[in-house]
Chains A and B, each alone.
Chain A
């Protein structure tokens, strides 16, 4: 940016429509130029606006890491918890106050490595929360270490001779554990990303959105993939949209392609609280059972 542009910006500050959703007293944020997390947050806010969920009924929970800082920047009831444990915190919050729409917004290392056990069990349990995972293929906050999402042979500070391990297919993982909703897009595909976040936010049960995102500073540069813009171009060129694709074959191959994106799974499965209230009513009878939270029963006409 030239000196002249900077002066113009200072003289005529342009208010972003995002400002009302952000804790502006915490700006500037910590994210690097070219990072995709801000784009994911932007899409999230636009998705929330489309759902019509009252803002005060939306709560956001993050773990630790670059994406873990999202909770701190959004002007919502927001919780910055411990590394890997955003999901079980969210489960407790949701079950204590079922009126809340609880969203977990965190990174791939946080949710899938240290927090992997909670991820699979929350999907299995089908608690009514939304998990948004910004997958940038690395640990950003700690300086570019290998992640369970890092491509095979990719370079990281802890794999200086290349990653030996096969990465997780997060969509397949969530799907096979029973998640009600599973989708993957990239920070290049902002319009479908907004729409899919809207669907996830209004879906009953455990909904999961993976957002492939550039980490120019630590992943792209080390692996000679260029800067943030180059990564966006890579997403554009490699991405193949296949809605309802079997998640098992929905691979992410940055090197040769394809990067399969789309809304993979949208299944009707009663959420945890519905199942709980229904099962307890059957077991204990309406006279004895004290329903938990706003009562929603399983519709017997749906299988």
Chain B
């Protein structure tokens, strides 16, 4: 299936990451969005408020983020592709409903245009300090999918991917922009609708009599029922059985949690989305994501001019973490050290250290946020760890 003709702004545009994200959502088939104003994400919903009435969609500015984050879950069960958009403080308020979307297996997209935190922090300046929140923010155990674009073009592309993954895995998908990518103006090429692959909602083919809400036909992701068609399904955030009925036992909890985890974590290799550069003979491996990857790229160029063999692994999907790939890379003889810059005081690097497990030194290049790194800081780290 591909994008709906007439709704996609096919062509070459000069737009920022927030606007590109909104256009990506429209191209992906999103027709309902709810949100609450918050810098630096507001341009996404402003764009949707303008564009949705022209393509049969609706944006509602809700009374707060709690309302926005559950209105999209209601809309998704109503049969529509839906998303919400926010930043730091707003995303914190939405955490309970991220859990509800995961627990009820509701396909939804959650855009976080990251700014400096904690608390009100730096509303107009970039950060990448919500990466662990994207992984662990709601209570309880659950799997996470989080994508991280580094340009307006990628904001468009990965928004489409986020919607496709949300449908495929029936879960909450986090799209982690940051203020810099959100407000950066660049060329964005939007392909013809026919060239944009879009995953449709997977509705059950069973009759209401045969249908059980969380019974999986094949694989670990059940099909959804249409609302208003006599399926009389029951959706609850309580631990539930295959019928969707509350089941207050340790056995039911184990059965449900095991499947929710396995459907994402068990597919980590398929979900992996990375960009690899000069990995074949690299002595120093730089791992990065989002806006920081662009600064890292400059530092890598400078290091290479100095004759240092540096490779770059850029994570477009941060969660699930590409554990197997990184493990294979550090097993290679030529890779002697790993460097990870991020716009926080060391978050994803913890996962990197866990995977590297002492096989090579891992150097974190932290930054508290509010600006991007100076390339020289990353260059200095590369120089220091080179063999």
The answer to whether B245 and A26 have CB atoms under 8 Å apart is yes
Which residue in A80, A100, A289 is a CB contact (below 8 Å) of B237?
A: A80
A-binding segment of B52-60, B118-126, B183-191, B281-289? B52-60
Query: Does B11 sit at the interface, judged by CB under 8 A?
Result: no
The answer to whether A71 and B234 have CB atoms under 8 Å apart is yes
A96 to B83, CA, bound (A): 12
The answer to whether B82 and A92 have CB atoms under 8 Å apart is yes
A85 to B231, CA, bound (A): 24
Kindly report which residue of chain A lies nearest to residue B53, judged by CB atoms. Answer: A280
Nearest chain A CB to B13's CB is how many angstroms away? 20
> Quick one: given A95-B75, A96-B79, A292-B56, are A79 and B70 in contact (CB under 8 Å)?
no
- Chain A neighbourhood of B53, CB < 8 A: 280, 283-284, 289-290, 292
State the interface size on chain B (CB cutoff 8 A). 44
Query: Does A269 sit at the interface, judged by CB under 8 A?
Result: no
Query: Does B67 sit at the interface, judged by CB under 8 A?
Result: yes
Nearest chain B CB to A50's CB is how many angstroms away? 20
The answer to whether A81 and B78 have CB atoms under 8 Å apart is no
Give chain B interface residues in 40-70, CB to chain A under 8 Å: 53-58, 60, 62-64, 66-68, 70
> Quick one: given A56-B230, A59-B228, A78-B235, are A96 and B100 in contact (CB under 8 Å)?
no
Give chain B interface residues in 1-44, CB to chain A under 8 Å: 32, 34
Which residue in B34, B73, B232, B238 is a CB contact (below 8 Å) of A80?
A: B238
Query: Does A222 sit at the interface, judged by CB under 8 A?
Result: no
Query: Does B145 sit at the interface, judged by CB under 8 A?
Result: no
Kindly report which residue of chain A lies nearest to residue B71, judged by CB atoms. Answer: A92
Query: Does A221 sit at the interface, judged by CB under 8 A?
Result: no
The answer to whether B78 and A95 have CB atoms under 8 Å apart is yes
Against A, the Cβ 8 Å flags (1 = close, 0 = not) of B80-93 are 10100000000000
The answer to whether A88 and B232 have CB atoms under 8 Å apart is no
**Can you list 18 pairs linking A and B with CB atoms under 8 Å apart?**
A23-B234, A59-B228, A71-B234, A72-B234, A72-B245, A76-B232, A81-B73, A81-B100, A87-B67, A88-B62, A88-B63, A88-B66, A92-B71, A96-B74, A97-B79, A121-B67, A283-B53, A292-B58
Binding site for B on A (CB under 8 A): 23, 25-26, 55-57, 59, 61, 71-72, 75-82, 84-85, 87-97, 99-100, 117-118, 121, 276, 280, 283-284, 288-292
Binding site for A on B (CB under 8 A): 32, 34, 53-58, 60, 62-64, 66-68, 70-80, 82, 96-97, 100, 227-238, 245-246
